[in-house]
Amino acid sequence: MKAFATLLERLAFTAARNAKLRILRHYLEQTSDPDRGFALAALTGDLKLRAVTPKLLRGLMAERVDEQLFALSYDFVGDLAETIALLWDGDGDDDVPLGDAVALLSDTGRAGLPAAISAMLDRLGPSERLAFLKLATGNMRVGLSARMARMALAEMGEPQIKDLEEIWHGLTPPYQPLFDWIAGGARPEHAAKAPFRPVMLSTPVDLDQLRALDPDDHVAEWKWDGIRVQAVNDDGVRRLYSRTGEDISGSFPDVIEALNFDGAVDGELLVRRGADVAPFGDLQKRLGRKVVGRAMLDSHPAGLRVYDLMIWDGQDLRDMPHQDRRTILQQADFGSDRIDVSPLLDFGTWDDLAALRADPPSIVIEGVMIKRRDSPYVGGRPRGPWFKWKRDPMVVDAVMLYAQRGHGKRSGFYSDFTFGLWDGDVLVPVGKAYFGFTDEELRELDRFVRNNTTERFGPVRSVAPKLVLEVAFEGLNASARHKSGVAMRFPRISRIRWDKPAPEADRLETLKAMIP
Yes or no: say if 357 and 368 are a contact pair by the CB < 8 Å rule.
Answer: yes
pLDDT tens, residue by residue, 120-173: 999 999 999 999 999 999 888 888 888 899 999 999 998 998 889 888 877 889
Residue 229 near residue 243, CB atoms below 8 Å: yes
Residue 260: pLDDT over 80? yes
Residue 351: partners with Cβ closer than 8 Å, 6 or more residues away: none
The dihedrals phi and psi of 87, each to the nearest 5 degrees, come to -90, -20
State residue 459 phi and psi, 5-degree precision: -80, 5
Between the alpha carbon of residue 38 and those of residues 33, 121, 173, 183, 500, the distances in Å are: 9, 19, 6, 18, 51
Residue 22: what pLDDT?
Answer: 96
| pLDDT exceeds 70 at position 190 | no
Reported as a pLDDT band with limits 50, 70 and 90, residue 55 is very high
Q: Looking at the predicted structure, is the pLDDT value of residue 113 above 80?
A: yes
Q: Indicate if the pLDDT at residue 117 is higher than 70.
A: yes
Whether 436 has a pLDDT exceeding 80, the answer reads yes
Decide if pLDDT at 460 tops 90: no
The runs of H, that is alpha helices, within 155-230 are 161-167, 176-182, 207-210
| Contact between 460 and 391 (Cβ < 8 Å) | no
| Three-class secondary structure of residue 104 per DSSP | helix
pLDDT for the residue 192: 58
pLDDT on residue 185: 92
State the CB neighbour count (10 A cutoff) for residue 213. Answer: 15
Which residue type, as a one-letter code, is found at position 171?
L
pLDDT computed for residue 468 by the predictor: 96
The pLDDT of 57-70, averaged and rounded, is 92
Q: What are phi and psi of 57, to 5 degrees?
A: -65, -40
What is the rounded end-to-end Cα distance, in angstroms, of the chain?
A: 52
Nearest partner of 398 among 320, 269, 287, 484, judged by Cα:
484
Q: At what angle do helices 54-62 and 67-77 cross, to 10 degrees?
A: 130
- Contact predicate 483/428, CB 8 Å: yes
What residue ranges define each of the domains in the chain, with the CATH number in brackets?
2-137 (1.10.3260.10), 203-390 (3.30.470.30), 394-512 (2.40.50.140)
Quote the pTM value: 0.74
Residue 191: the pLDDT is 56
For 13-26, letters b (16+ CB in 10 Å) and e give: ebeeeeebbebbbe
Q: Which residues are catalytic?
A: 223
* % of residues, the chain, pLDDT over 90: 72
Q: What is the mean pLDDT of the chain?
A: 92
